[in-house]
A = this chain, B = another copy of it.
Amino acid sequence: MSVLGLDIGGANLKAAHSCGIALSHPFELWKQPGSLADALRGLLRQLPAAELLAVTMTGELCDCFETKRQGVEAILDAVAAAAAGQAVRVWGSDGCFRDVARARAEPDRVAAANWLALARFAGRFAPRGAALVVDIGSTTTDIVPLMDGQPAPQGRTDPERLAARELVYTGIRRTPVCALLGADGAAELFANTQDVYLLLGRLAEDAEDRRTADGRPATRAAAAARLARMRCADLDSMTAEEIDELARNIRDRQLAILAEALATVTGRLPEPPRLVVAAGAGEFLVVDVLARSELLRRVPLLSLADRLGAELSTAACAYALAVLAPASVTGASGSD
């Protein structure tokens, strides 16, 4: 059975075909919710046809929608329009797929469930006993405990997962630096973590990418100017060394937040984890986070990017759906 997995976020659309082809497409949903169906059609046209569309979403949290229920409705409308009669199944935080009508009736279940698809998929690589999936994305990080290869989360909804530290709202591109610097910088949207990792050489420059705080390019020079502004300074008054030091300081704060969350989640496991599965566009940070943790420093690490390749790994939640759907839809897999 051929499946096309779709992961509809607030800032990115990701699609992956069960044959192993994937695409990621930046799409700022909150700025143009009315264009989602067209954007999805454009994405689908670039991939092989499939018997089934398997869908998950996080974009319902965007503030173009008054409530998440309204967001789920709008996203399902766009999916139905783009599907043009093709079979659609929607993944939920109960680990089940349902049709669109059922999904509309259960907005709480289909909202923000992509982490569970990835965790269930990643569980295939996990040994018996306890393990962790750590997926550092552009905007958020998911930390999901596994027991015997099955997801064993404390929270299911975003608010529950946020409180449980299984969802850490920090990532390698879109996180406003003011959310990390707090009172030690300007409380303005002057810079994002993308600027930090551009400067530290962990993300590649892209002069075409202007999804930055000031609309200037995602280059190291422009990133340095954006970061200087976080100290109410500029390139005339801060040296390159000082700006690099600031970038490292911000990176360290983000690592500390992630390490603390990882310690909290790990602390609830019945035994130390035997494996950490690292995933996401920010996979490179997982090693750094583990290095800060006394408990996790020596735990084996499995890189999803190594296993799947960069393209599938970037769209890993979508690919997980494409892999999980056949068994689930035909009834072979129940809920977690």
Which residues of A pack against B, CB within 8 Å? 61, 63-64, 66-69, 108, 112, 139, 157-159, 162, 167-171, 174-176, 178-183, 185-190, 213-214, 225-226, 229, 231-238, 257, 260-261
User: How far, in Å, is A289 (CB) from chain B's closest CB?
Assistant: 13
Q: List 13 A-B contacts (CB under 8 A).
A: A61-B186, A63-B229, A67-B225, A67-B236, A68-B237, A69-B234, A108-B237, A112-B232, A162-B231, A169-B187, A169-B188, A174-B187, A182-B182
Query: With a CB–CB cut-off of 8 A, which chain B residues contact A178?
Result: 176, 178-179
User: How far, in Å, is A71 (CB) from chain B's closest CB?
Assistant: 9
User: How far, in Å, is A172 (CB) from chain B's closest CB?
Assistant: 12
Query: With a CB–CB cut-off of 8 A, which chain B residues contact A170?
Result: 183, 187
- 8 Å CB contact of A257 from B112, B157, B183: B183
Question: Among the interface residues A171, A180, A183, A238, which one has the most CB atoms of the partner chain B within 10 A?
Answer: A183
Q: How many copies of the chain does the oligomer comprise?
A: 2
| Chain A facing B: main interface SS | loop
User: How far, in Å, is A32 (CB) from chain B's closest CB?
Assistant: 14
Query: With a CB–CB cut-off of 8 A, which chain B residues contact A188?
Result: 139, 169, 176
Query: With a CB–CB cut-off of 8 A, which chain B residues contact A159?
Result: 231-233, 237-238
Query: With a CB–CB cut-off of 8 A, which chain B residues contact A189?
Result: 176, 189
Residue of B whose beta carbon sits closest to that of A165: B183
B183 close to A168 (CB less than 8 A): yes
Knowing A61-B229, A69-B236, A232-B159, say if A187 contacts B183 (CB, 8 Å). Answer: no
Q: Considering the chains assembled together, what is the distance between the CA atoms of A180 and B225 in angstroms?
A: 24
Question: Among the interface residues A159, A182, A188, A235, which one has the most CB atoms of the partner chain B within 10 A?
Answer: A188
A185 close to B213 (CB less than 8 A): no
Query: With a CB–CB cut-off of 8 A, which chain B residues contact A66?
Result: 225, 234-235
Q: Considering the chains assembled together, what is the distance between the CA atoms of A189 and B260 in angstroms?
A: 23
Q: Considering the chains assembled together, what is the distance between the CA atoms of A145 and B299 in angstroms?
A: 53
- 8 Å CB contact of A232 from B158, B190, B233, B237: B158
User: How far, in Å, is A246 (CB) from chain B's closest CB?
Assistant: 11
Query: With a CB–CB cut-off of 8 A, which chain B residues contact A185?
Result: 162, 169
Residue of B whose beta carbon sits closest to that of A161: B232
B226 close to A63 (CB less than 8 A): yes
Q: Considering the chains assembled together, what is the distance between the CA atoms of A236 and B169 in angstroms?
A: 21
Query: With a CB–CB cut-off of 8 A, which chain B residues contact A162?
Result: 185-186, 231-232
Q: Considering the chains assembled together, what is the distance between the CA atoms of A260 and B235 in angstroms?
A: 30
Beyond A64-B214, A170-B183, A179-B179, 18 additional contacts (C-beta under 8 Å) are A61-B186, A63-B229, A66-B234, A66-B235, A68-B234, A108-B237, A112-B232, A139-B187, A139-B188, A157-B232, A158-B232, A162-B186, A162-B231, A169-B186, A169-B188, A174-B187, A178-B179, A183-B260
Query: With a CB–CB cut-off of 8 A, which chain B residues contact A226?
Result: 63
B179 close to A187 (CB less than 8 A): yes
A187 close to B182 (CB less than 8 A): no
- 8 Å CB contact of A175 from B187, B229, B232, B236: B187
